[in-house]
Structure 1
Amino acid sequence: MKIQNHRLCEAHWQPSPNYNQRPESMAVSMLVVHNISLPPKQFGGSYIEDFFCNQLDCSAHPYFDEIKDLQVSAHLLVKRGGELVQFVPFNERAWHAGVSEFEGEANCNDFSIGIELEGADDVPYTQQQYQVLAQVTDCLRAHYPDILSKRIVGHDDIAPGRKTDPGPSFDWPYFKQLIKEDIS
């Protein structure tokens, strides 16, 4: 995998309006793993992409009325089959973490890259998702060397009590086996 101009060459580019600039001189130093499915626990279709691009047809499902006023995004989405969609360049601040803190640092959007897995807390992720996520992680860490293994976290790690994703179905030990060790 390759990154050019803060975009992953292997990802389909679908720009989201839901981002802004990172604080000046803020280094990318964290990767946050999330999950999303729209409607909940239903996979496929373009609802996630539509949601991150503020184009979700809220009449398509009753749940969408609950999220119609949200403006959120992530840097990347890994679909069930391993397909990649990028919404925000990595050097910009995507709106994925919300109210968050890690090791005393608040506002994790300022220094993190958010990757959404199409999934749900209690639905097993696919082998393709683990493989692609590991490849993306290794590529990101080569490009942004401040992302150490201990700073690859779940949304639940930076927003405990508020968020639960990627959930108990995410196999952290397996994922950590797939990624390269810290070089430092």
Structure 2
Amino acid sequence: MRMRTLGVVMFLIFLTGGVLGYISAKMNPSGVAGDIMSSFGNKVRTINFTPFSLRSVLLVFINNFTVALLMFLLGITVILPSIIVFLNGAVAGVVVAFAEERGISLLLAVLAMIPHGIFELSAFFLSASYGTMLGIAFWRKIFGKGGDLFSLAVKMPFYIAFAAVLLITAAFIEVFISPLVFAV
């Protein structure tokens, strides 16, 4: 499967997670969606997110880069990167629903995510797609079906570095620009 095709698949998986997370939060805010929001809140407190802070940029980057690395490395399972993308979509959907509950319009909630989301999600879709391709190539090699495992493994540092650049850009935007969108 080609990288571009897998990227589109990851985007669709993310959207599916987002829609289901949003619907879940709207139908039963105290259920799974409430647990997700609680977990998300704990993560924000652990990171000690402070808008306009270089420390927050670093902590957001480390958190997101860890997730991206997991998707690269867990690609050997073929399915786990897709599950991580789905869960990230679900969290985004729940966050949007809870923002609405607090009087923030659906449009503003989504707009606040877009500036950093473009870079962050691109990095996540890249990591998940590449990890999945690597996993498929690994299993093809194991079962004697050929595959380009070596060439994929050689290119991996480039893709990890590219994802890191996307994620540091996303972290700066999330910490320095997204709070301004909410202030409007």
**More strand, by proportion:** 1
TM-score, shorter chain, exceeding 0.5: no
Larger Rg belongs to? 2
Query: Which structure would you say has the larger RCO, counting Cα contacts within 8 Å and 6 or more residues apart?
Result: 2
Structure holding more helix per residue: 2
Q: TM-score, normalised by structure 1?
A: 0.30
Q: TM-score, normalised by structure 2?
A: 0.30
